[in-house]
Amino acid sequence: MKIAVTGAAGFVGSNLIDELLLGDHTIIGIDNFSTGYRNHILHHKENKNFIFHKLDLSANFDSNIFEDCDCVIHLAALADIRYNKSNFKECLNKNVTATNNVLEACVNNNIKKLLFASTCSVYGDALVFPTKETEVKNQTSVYSSTKIASEMLLEGFANTFNFHAFSLRFVSMLGQRYSHGHVFDFTKKILNNEPLNVLGSGDGIKSYLHIKDAVKAIEMLINHRSKNYFEAFNVGHSDTIKLKYSVETIVNYLNYKGEVNYGEGLSGWVGDVPVIAPSIEKMKALGWNPKFSIQKGITDTIDYLVDNQWLLNS
Ligand SMILES: NC(=O)c1ccc[n+]([C@@H]2O[C@H](COP(=O)([O-])OP(=O)(O)OC[C@H]3O[C@@H](n4cnc5c(N)ncnc54)[C@H](O)[C@@H]3O)[C@@H](O)[C@H]2O)c1
C-alpha cells in the first residue's frame, strides 16, 4: 500500500512508520518538526520506500503529496494538552485548520481511507465508565474541542465525498520516543535530582497504552472495512492506574530518594480530565487487545529516556 503519515517525526508517527516499513508499503512522511524530531526518522533516510516532505499542514501545501495514496493517517497536531490555555490559537491552527487542509487534500486526490488521531479527552467529565464511543459530553479544554471539531469535519467530509474516515480516540501513550507527559517530566526531574511536584492530589485515575499496542490498533484500522463512512474507536487499555501509583512506579524504578510533593484537587491543570477509562470493546470486537501492561509502558518509557537523554534535554 501507499500510505501518507502526517506527524511522521512525532512520537506516534515515527513508531508507526518503523512498523509499516517492515511490511510491503511505501510511506509518505510529512512533518514540520514543530514538536517532532528529525532523529526519530533519520534511520529511514536511505530507505527508498520512505519519502519525506517537510511542510506545514496548517498553511497552503501542494495536495499532490497524497497522490495515489491508499490511506492517509493524520497524526500531526499540537498534542500537549497542558499548554492549550496559553497557546489556544496555535492549537486551533495545528489541529483544526491543518485537519481541514488534510481533508481537502484527501478530496482532491480521491483518497478512500483516512485515519485520524483523536483523544479520549473528548469525553470530558464523563458520567459513565468504562466510557463508550457514544458518550461524548462536555469539552474541558481547547485541545479536546479542537479534536471533536476535527472529528465533525471528518464525518461531514466522509459522508459528502463518500470515503471512510476513522477517528482513533487514544488515551495517553507510553514507550520509546515519548516526549510529553508526567513520565517524561518526572524522569527528567529525578535524573536532575530535583524534587517532584505533582500537579494535583495524584488521585486522578487514567488508562495508558503502550505505543506498540497503539501501532497495532492503527494497523488494524488501516485494513478495517465498515459500512459507515465515519466511525470513532476508543484506543486505550482496559486497566487504569492512579497517578499516585504511577509516580510510585517511577520513583521505585529509578530508586529516587528525594522529595515528592502533591498538590490539591483531582485535576492537575486547566483541562486535565481526572478520570479517563474508556470502553475498548469496539476495538476488541475487531480482534485487537493491548498486550502490554501499563507498568510495562511506564518502565519501557523510563528505559528509553535514560538511554536517550538528548530528548529529555531538547
Ligand atoms: N501521545 C499521546 O499520548 C496522545 C494521546 C491522545 C492523542 N494523541 C494524538 O496523537 C497524535 C500524535 O501525537 P504525538 O504524541 O505523536 O505528538 P508529537 O508532538 O510527538 O507529534 C506530532 C507531530 O506533528 C508535527 N506537526 C504538528 N503540527 C504540524 C503541522 N502544522 N504541519 C506538519 N507537521 C506538524 C510535529 O512536528 C510532530 O512531529 C496527535 O494528533 C495527538 O493529539 C496523542
Mutate which of 6, 28, 30, 34 for ligand 1 pocket (most atoms within 8 A of beta carbon): 34
Residues with CB under 6 A from ligand 1: 7, 9-13, 30-36, 56-58, 75-77, 79, 94, 98, 117, 119, 170, 172-173, 179
pLDDT at 137: 82
- Alpha carbon separation from 59 to 55, 149, 303 (Å, rounded): 8, 19, 37
Specify the DSSP element, H or E, that contains 22: none
Q: How far apart are CA 277 and CA 232, in angstroms?
A: 16
Ligand 1, atom nearest to 120 Cα: 6
Ligand 1, atom nearest to 36 Cα: 39
Domains and CATH numbers, the chain: 2-174+209-235 (3.40.50.720), 182-206+239-276+291-312 (3.90.25.10)
Q: Give distance in angstroms: CA of 154 to centre of ligand 1.
A: 17
Decide: residue 292, CB within 10 A, 0-12 exposed, 13-18 middle, 19+ buried: middle
Half-sphere exposure of 104 (CA within 13 A, CB side): 13
269 confidence band (pLDDT: 50, 70, 90): confident
pLDDT per residue as tens digits for the range 32-87: 999 999 999 999 999 999 999 999 999 999 999 999 999 999 999 999 877 778 88
pLDDT at 169: 98
pLDDT per residue as tens digits for the range 137-153: 899 999 999 999 999 99
Question: Which residues are within 8 A (CB) of 247 and not within 5 positions of it... i.e. 6 or more apart?
Answer: 182, 186, 196, 198, 202, 260
> Is the Cβ–Cβ distance between 41 and 17 less than 8 Å?
yes
Nearest to 174 by CA among 210, 228, 123: 210
Contacts 24+ apart (CB under 8 A), 187-194: 187/250, 187/254, 187/301, 187/302, 187/305, 187/306, 187/312, 188/305, 188/312, 190/250, 190/251, 190/254, 190/256, 190/258, 191/254, 191/306, 191/309, 191/312, 193/258, 194/258
Q: State the residue for C-alpha cell 481533508.
A: 103
Kindly report the pTM of this predicted structure: 0.98
136 confidence band (pLDDT: 50, 70, 90): confident
pLDDT at 203: 97
Q: Give distance in angstroms: CA of 34 to centre of ligand 1.
A: 9
Q: What percent of the chain has pLDDT over 70?
A: 100
pLDDT average, residue stretch 154-167: 98
For all residues of the chain together, what is the average pLDDT?
A: 96
**77 is written with which cell numbers?**
497536531
Ligand 1, atom nearest to 14 Cα: 16
- 139-171: burial string, b at 16+ Cβ within 10 Å, e else: bbbbbbbbbbbbbebbbebbeeeebbbbbbbbb
Q: How far apart are CA 64 and CA 257, in angstroms?
A: 55
Mutate which of 75, 90, 169, 311 for ligand 1 pocket (most atoms within 8 A of beta carbon): 75
Nearest to 283 by CA among 232, 241, 212, 210: 232
Question: Which residues are within 8 A (CB) of 141 and not within 5 positions of it... i.e. 6 or more apart?
Answer: 81, 84, 85, 121, 270, 271, 272
Q: Give distance in angstroms: CA of 150 to centre of ligand 1.
A: 14
pLDDT at 86: 84
pLDDT per residue as tens digits for the range 174-219: 999 999 999 999 999 999 999 999 999 999 999 999 999 999 999 9
- Residue 60 has a CB neighbour count (10 Å cut-off) of 9
Q: What percent of the chain has pLDDT over 90?
A: 94
